[in-house]
Amino acid sequence: MSVARRNRPRPTVGRVLTVVGLYVLMTLVAVSILFPVVWMLYSSIKTNQQILNNVFSLPTAFNLENYRNLFNGGQMPVWLANSVIVTLVSVVGIAILSALAAYGFAAFSFRGKEKLFIFCLIGLMIPPQALIVSGFKWMSLFALIGSRWALILTYLGWISFGVLVLRNFFQAVPKEIIEAARIDGANHWRIFTRIMLPLARPSIGTVVVLNFMWVWNDFIYPLVYVDSADRYTIPLGILQYQSRLGVQWGTQMAALSVAAGVPLLIYLIFQRQFIRGILAGSLKG
């Protein structure tokens, strides 16, 4: 590895102390992150009484009672379904819309293209909560308040990131490939579906993973646009549990674990796409 190539000075006492110090610091930060997560997970299999007796104690048995409460009596299955439906439809839609637009920006040249592209990036910079007031009234004009469509349509406007990332990708594709396809008589649609999309699969993965996190975790729009408990998405439901379950700590921990578990799992599986997405969004793509 490059460590050898670096030709580091021989380990001295100072170097050893620095490394030990670094490890201590890095571990402290890591523990501050891992402990709350692990605590939440293991508390979710403790009974309420066990939590009240000692908040730190490890569970003595693998007890899924809290999860059973959550999924049997509670509305968790409905909220989970809402979150899944809204997230899947929105994310697939965002990917399709932004891939199409990105190709338009990359493959065509027209007057004002640069300005239109910059205009499409405004969405990256706007704090979404600044739009909830008029967004709410706008949606109620179409009688969409309380419907999942109010959320889905709003998220379909979040194309800025995908357009930025995919346009950069499409522009980096060697012009010769497209040129050759055009000489063979392929039209833009064919070039897009047969050549560009297959090439862009990793970048599209990046767009999908990041938007999944954003949509899944979004709280503001469900808070404002959803008016009945059977349309709640998970983040909104969690907050209701906080006030409604009150002192039922065990069940609440289970609900939190479900809410955090899905994006954590996606992150662990798709870490590469996630990291690439962060970098692509920071203009360094």
Residues 41-80, interacting with another protein (CB under 8 A):
51-52, 55-56
Assess 13 for contact with another protein (CB under 8 A): no
CB 93 within 8 A of CB 151: no
Assess 181 for contact with another protein (CB under 8 A): no
Q: Which stretch binds another protein (CB under 8 A): 58-66, 67-75, 200-208, 257-265?
A: 257-265
Q: Which stretch binds another protein (CB under 8 A): 23-31, 57-65, 67-75, 198-206?
A: 23-31
Q: Which stretch binds another protein (CB under 8 A): 62-70, 73-81, 199-207, 265-273?
A: 265-273
The pairs formed by 91-94 with CB atoms below 8 angstroms and a separation of 24 or more are 91/155, 91/208, 91/211, 91/212, 91/215, 92/208, 93/152, 93/155, 93/156, 94/155, 94/156, 94/158, 94/159, 94/162, 94/207, 94/211
x/- map, 76-115, another protein, by CB under 8 A: --------------------xxx-xx-xxxxxxxx---x-
Least distance in angstroms from the C-beta of 60 to another protein = 19
**Considering CB under 8 A, how many residues would be counted as binding another protein?**
113
CB 145 within 8 A of CB 225: yes
x/- map, 189-208, another protein, by CB under 8 A: x--x----------------
As a whole number of angstroms, the distance between CA 168 and CA 122 comes to: 17
Assess 238 for contact with another protein (CB under 8 A): yes
Tokens at 255, concatenated: 């609900």
Least distance in angstroms from the C-beta of 263 to another protein = 4
Among 36, 58, 64, 68, binds another protein (CB under 8 A): 36
- Strand, coil or helix: 37: helix
Tokens at 59, concatenated: 């569970």
Within 126-155, the residues that bind another protein by CB under 8 A are 126-138, 141, 153-154
Assess 38 for contact with another protein (CB under 8 A): no
- Strand, coil or helix: 165: helix
Among 32, 49, 72, 228, binds another protein (CB under 8 A): 32
Least distance in angstroms from the C-beta of 181 to another protein = 12
Burial of 26 (0-12, 13-18, 19+ CB in 10 A): exposed
Q: Which stretch binds another protein (CB under 8 A): 62-70, 74-82, 161-169, 197-205?
A: 161-169
Q: Which stretch binds another protein (CB under 8 A): 57-65, 71-79, 167-175, 198-206?
A: 167-175
CB 158 within 8 A of CB 94: yes
> By C-alpha distance, which of 127, 106, 266, 270 is closest to 191?
106
Burial of 72 (0-12, 13-18, 19+ CB in 10 A): exposed
Q: Which stretch binds another protein (CB under 8 A): 62-70, 72-80, 197-205, 272-280?
A: 272-280
Least distance in angstroms from the C-beta of 63 to another protein = 19
